[in-house]
Amino acid sequence: MKEFKPVWLIIQPSIANLMYECLTSNNLPLITSISYVELTGEILDTTVRQKMKKLFDCHVANQYGANEVNSIAYECPCGNMHIMENNVYVEIIKDRRCVLNEMGEICITSLTNSAMPLIRYLIGDIGKLKRFHCECGNKAPILEHIYGRNSQWIINESNNKITPYIIVGVFNHINRVFNEVIIQYQVIQNSYTSFLIKLFLEDTDIPYNFIEYEIKRKLKEELNFTFNLEFKYYDDFFDKYGEEKHSFFFNLITQ
Ligand SMILES: [Zn+2]
């Protein structure tokens, strides 16, 4: 990269994270040619975004797309994911209805692919579509809370489905409070009332029980039901070179 002098980076958050660790832990020289970083392919949390800003001091944007249709939504300067209306028509389907302001399956119609038309294609991801006035001036609808196709629901004893997106919110909160201490996390629901929390932390003086207490407190506040947590600590548990996207949540009840 030093020789090639890239100006743009379009990468997955997990790879961006890996690059950050590699550059900083080996004291490698910064790649100063980069003026824009686009993150795509996985859920983006605030930690990776901040690391990229810190590393390259440039504009960092989130993009949601799929191999089948290319770009579906792109983040504007106000931080909203506007639909690429010239490229795709997006609907959200829940209980066989088209919905607005509700979570549901993302349904795509390609407006540009005449060789292989995809009409009302359920791409396997879930999200929420909203229409509101955005300060950036783009009038296209906004896609929120996008989860990958491997996303599963948190399920409580009454069999209610709860969006796993709250987990991302909880860990973003923890990283804000504890100075970006969590490098990787994964939550596994073992039963209706028990979760395993896998963590890979930075070297830190913060006692682990402080972090555990805050995770438990915040998760209880969000989930609003009673459960037990078990914590396990690892060094780097995601397979860096695997093909699989890194999932932050698994539900063993439904598997
Ligand atoms: Zn906007």
pTM of model > 0.75: no
Tokens 């879930």 belong to 126
CA of residue 222 to ligand 1 center, whole Å = 28
- Residue 201 Cα to ligand 1 midpoint, Å, equals 34
Domain definitions of the chain by residue range:
1-66, 81-149, 154-251
Q: Which residues contact 195 (CB under 8 A, 6 or more apart)?
A: 187, 188, 189, 219, 227, 228, 229, 230
State the distance from the centre of ligand 1 to the C-alpha of 64, rounded, in angstroms: 15
- The β-bridge partners of 229 are 195
Cα of 132 vs centre of ligand 1, distance in Å, is 9
Centroid of ligand 1 to alpha carbon of 82 (angstroms):
6
Kindly give the distance from the C-alpha atom of residue 137 to the centroid of ligand 1, in angstroms, as a whole number: 6
39: confidence class by pLDDT, cuts 50, 70, 90: very high
Q: What is the mean pLDDT of residues 144-164?
A: 77
- Residue 167 Cα to ligand 1 middle (Å): 25
Ligand 1 centre to CA of 245 (Å) is: 28
Distance 235 CA to ligand 1 centre (A): 39
**Residue 140 alpha carbon to ligand 1 centre in Å:** 8
Q: pLDDT tens, 51-93?
A: 999 999 999 999 998 888 989 999 999 999 999 999 999 999 9
> Over pLDDT 70: what percentage of the chain?
95
pLDDT tens, residue by residue, 21-31: 888 889 988 88
Given pLDDT bands bounded at 50, 70 and 90, which one contains residue 146? confident
Percent of the chain with pLDDT over 90: 53
**How sure is the predictor about 147, in pLDDT bands with cuts at 50, 70 and 90?**
confident
Distance from the CA of 10 to the center of ligand 1, in angstroms?
Answer: 20
Please tell me the distance between residue 100's alpha carbon and the centre of ligand 1 in angstroms: 18
Q: What is the pLDDT averaged over residues 220-247?
A: 79
Exposure string for 211-229, b = 16+ CB within 10 A, e = fewer: bbebbbebbeebbeeebee
Task: For domain 81-149, give the CATH number.
Answer: 2.30.38
Which residue, among 187, 200, 198, has the nearest Cα to 227 in the 3D structure?
187
Q: Which residues contact 147 (CB under 8 A, 6 or more apart)?
A: 43, 125, 126, 127, 163, 164, 165
CATH of domain 1-66: 3.40.50.980
Q: If you measure from the C-alpha of residue 77 to the centroid of ligand 1, how many angstroms do you get, rounded to a whole number?
A: 6
Q: What is the pLDDT of residue 12?
A: 84
Please, is 240 exposed, middle or buried when counting C-beta atoms within 10 Å of its C-beta (0-12, 13-18, 19+)? exposed
| Spacing, Cα 58 to ligand 1 middle (Å) | 19
Residue 42 has pLDDT above 60, yes or no: yes
pLDDT value, residue 72: 95
User: Distance from the CA of 57 to the center of ligand 1, in angstroms?
Assistant: 22
The class level of CATH for 154-251 reads: alpha beta
Ligand 1 centroid to Cα of residue 74, in Å, is 9
Per-position DSSP letters for 100-151, written without gaps between them:
SSSEEEEEEEESS-SSS---SEEEEEEEEEE----TT---S-EEEEEE-TT-
* pLDDT tens sequence across 159-202: 887 877 788 889 989 999 999 999 889 999 999 999 999 999 99
